[in-house]
Amino acid sequence: MPAVMLVRHGQASFGAAEYDELSELGREQSRTVGAALAAQDVRIDRAISGGLRRQRDTAALCLEAAGFTGALDVDDRFDEYDHLGLAAQLHDGPVPTSSRDFQVVLDAALEQWISGALTPAGMPTWTEFSARAWAGLEEFVAALGKGGSGAVFTSGGIIAAIGARLLGLSPAGCVALHRVVINGGITKVVAGRGGTALISFNEHSHLPATQVTYR
């Protein structure tokens, strides 16, 4: 059966003028993931990335370290939602700049968005966002074929959306899942006769403690 690794991008540049850029630690995390895949002899038949810079750069660094020589495809259905814009539109006053305080604001905004209570201007509904990610995954799985193994380089929101769908989680459960997705963590799904199933979530034993980050 086809197996897909959903790899969250390395640490981006939270608080910087350009968020969509890997930090130095993010680049190191990306190489660590690739080296771990190589050490475990994990086969990658096909690799795909969302279109965001942090996703594409993570993919390039990881795949180079893993020894993957194939082409990297790009599919913007695996792009992350605008988390900064979501927090700003659903929060009164300036968005907090500390990671911990920002997470509180984001969690509240996410639950409203996921539940359908609010949809910020210029953003899709959560249902549309989740459906887009699922369609991208289904197409990728079909392209892998029987016994294929692939890697998708994406973001926490996409991984949470797919995981929540497979587990049948409530909006609050989806937010809880989203909150703990680690940079460089790997979530694995497989597709068989019974449908697509979640095999493991947020695996990160390949990362040393100094490289474990959530934002």
Find where tokens 């981006």 sit.
12
Instruction: Indicate the range of 48-52, 96-100, 146-150, 153-157 predicted with least confidence.
Output: 96-100
φ, ψ of residue 78 in degrees (nearest 5): -100, 10
Mean local confidence (pLDDT), 137-150: 94
pLDDT of residue 177: 94
Mean local confidence (pLDDT), 195-207: 96
Instruction: Indicate if the pLDDT at residue 35 is higher than 80.
Output: yes
Mean local confidence (pLDDT), 110-129: 89
Residue 153 pLDDT level (bands cut at 50, 70, 90): very high
Q: Evaluate whether 155 touches 7 at the Cβ level (below 8 Å).
A: no
Instruction: Indicate if the pLDDT at residue 92 is higher than 80.
Output: no
Give the C-alpha separation, 56 to 30, whole Å: 11
Domains recognised in the chain with CATH numbers = 3-80+126-207 (3.40.50.1240), 82-123 (no CATH)
Tokens found for residue 70: 């194939």
pLDDT of residue 96: 73
Tokens found for residue 51: 């279109």
pLDDT of residue 88: 82
User: Is residue 135 helix, strand or coil?
Assistant: helix
Give the C-alpha separation, 147 to 164, whole Å: 25
Instruction: Indicate if the pLDDT at residue 125 is higher than 90.
Output: yes
Is the overall model pTM greater than 0.85, yes or no? yes
Q: Evaluate whether 69 touches 44 at the Cβ level (below 8 Å).
A: no
Give the C-alpha separation, 91 to 107, whole Å: 11
- Per residue in 43-71, pLDDT (tens digit) is 999 999 999 999 999 999 999 999 999 99
Task: Please name which of 184, 175, 50 lies closest in space to residue 117, comparing C-alpha atoms.
Answer: 175
Instruction: Indicate if the pLDDT at residue 76 is higher than 90.
Output: yes
